[in-house]
């Protein structure tokens, strides 16, 4: 068994650099049976915290690891996550972060029972309210964040085929932006299309890049009777409406805004990253320009 030291970002904010950490990690740890050393992690931004926590929690091959020693990672529950479904006072717990610039890493249930659905909907609503409070967002941005998180969370619930999803949030007041990341260790976009047996023809989808290309063009695996705006609308809303950055990774398909490339190595499940600038706000932004 090889001891792999997973690099900390040392407060490096660039999504491309953070993605390179994931890519290098996957190339070095392709066997999935090494000892992962996170002890030097001083800071773990949302993109990496969701990815590694989701991976370690859901993949037995990554079961051997050392936890970070630094307080930030311990406070956000890096690698374990905080699960509202197993706590009666989760609202009070989250409210304890109202004076901070971040929220804990949240592990939410994808179950579709009435109780699980209500808890998840209440959770997303509460998270969005706290993001608005922490980042001091105007109403139109709050509505957009609420839409984006609801849409991407529903996407995990409907298509991941896994029991849990993950959400992480960090506000950078000195940088003028906030980051949100969502992840799952499910079947991924390609397998969602391959498993589809409905009325639409997705026979052309054979690779991860095909799958993401079809997804961002609006190809949904929902029934024809169901209306779903999907990831493609979320991307346009964030990039064109809010001047933000949208990243989506599944398999070896990597989407950064409007550019789709080969990531060079296959990643499990799906990862979505949203960066929203909160300076020079678009005061005329209206969510309905993108959802109607």
150 within 8 A of 126, measured Cβ to Cβ:
no
208 within 8 A of 190, measured Cβ to Cβ:
yes
Nearest to 270 by CA among 124, 164, 148, 123: 164
DSSP annotation of 102 reads: B
What's the domain range around 226?
A: 81-291
Token pair for 77: 């529950």
Residue 204: Cβ within 10 Å count:
10
- Which residue would you say has higher pLDDT here, 198 or 187? 187
User: Computed from CA positions of residues 125, 129, 132, 135, in that sequence, does the dihedral angle turn out positive or negative?
Assistant: negative
Give me the pLDDT at residue 228, please. 47
Tally of structural domains, the chain: 1
Give me the pLDDT at residue 28, please. 81
Residue 126 and residue 120: Cα distance in Å, rounded? 10
Give me the pLDDT at residue 12, please. 85
Judge whether 30 lies within some domain: no
Residue 78 and residue 52: Cα distance in Å, rounded? 8
- C-alpha distances out from residue 251 to 70, 155, 192, 208, 271, Å: 31, 16, 12, 6, 10
Average pLDDT, the chain: 89
User: Computed from CA positions of residues 98, 103, 104, 107, in that sequence, does the dihedral angle turn out positive or negative?
Assistant: positive
How far is Cα of residue 201 from the mean position of the Cα atoms in its chain?
Answer: 28
Q: In sequence order, which residues have a C-beta less than 8 Å from that of residue 42 and are 6 or more positions away?
A: 8, 10, 11, 68, 70, 72, 73
Q: What is the pTM of this model?
A: 0.94
- Which residue would you say has higher pLDDT here, 204 or 11? 204
pLDDT at 223 over 80: no
pLDDT band with cut points at 50, 70 and 90 for residue 226: low
149 within 8 A of 287, measured Cβ to Cβ:
no
Give me the pLDDT at residue 166, please. 97
Judge whether 245 lies within some domain: yes
pLDDT at 208 over 80: yes
Tens of pLDDT along 38-80?
887 888 899 999 999 988 887 666 556 777 878 899 899 998 9
Here the CATH number for the domain that contains residue 198 is 3.30.565.10
Residue 20 and residue 47: Cα distance in Å, rounded? 11
Give me the pLDDT at residue 114, please. 95
Pairing of strands 177-184, 259-277: antiparallel
- C-alpha distances out from residue 141 to 128, 173, 194, 254, Å: 10, 16, 36, 26
pLDDT at 201 over 60: yes
Judge whether 40 lies within some domain: no
- Which residue would you say has higher pLDDT here, 100 or 57? 100
Give me the pLDDT at residue 227, please. 47
């Amino acid at each position: 068994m090889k001891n792999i030291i997973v690099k900390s970002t040392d407060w490096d904010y660039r999504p491309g650099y953070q993605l390179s950490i994931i890519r290098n990690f996957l190339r070095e740890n392709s066997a999935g049976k090494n000892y992962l050393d996170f002890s030097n992690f001083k800071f773990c931004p949302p993109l990496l915290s969701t990815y590694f926590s989701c991976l370690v929690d859901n993949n037995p091959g990554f079961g051997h690891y050392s936890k970070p020693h630094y307080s930030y990672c311990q406070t956000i529950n890096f690698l374990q996550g905080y699960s509202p479904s197993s706590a009666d006072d989760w609202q009070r717990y989250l409210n304890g972060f109202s004076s901070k610039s971040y929220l804990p890493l949240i592990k939410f249930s994808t179950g579709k029972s009435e109780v699980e659905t209500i808890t998840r909907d209440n959770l997303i609503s509460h998270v969005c309210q706290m993001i608005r409070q922490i980042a001091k967002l105007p109403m139109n941005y709050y509505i957009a964040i609420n839409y984006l998180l609801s849409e991407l969370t529903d996407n995990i619930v409907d298509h991941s085929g896994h029991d849990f999803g993950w959400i992480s949030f960090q506000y950078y007041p000195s940088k003028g932006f906030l980051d949100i990341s969502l992840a799952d260790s499910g079947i991924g976009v390609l397998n969602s299309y391959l498993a589809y047996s409905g009325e639409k023809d997705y026979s052309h989808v054979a690779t991860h890049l095909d799958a993401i290309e079809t997804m961002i063009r609006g190809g949904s695996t929902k029934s024809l009777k169901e209306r779903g705006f999907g990831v493609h609308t979320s991307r346009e809303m964030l990039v064109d409406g809010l001047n933000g950055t949208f990243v989506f990774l599944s398999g070896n398909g990597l989407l950064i805004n409007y550019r789709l490339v080969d990531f060079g190595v296959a990643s499990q499940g799906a990862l979505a990253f949203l960066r929203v600038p909160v300076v020079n706000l678009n005061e005329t932004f209206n969510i309905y320009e993108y959802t109607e």
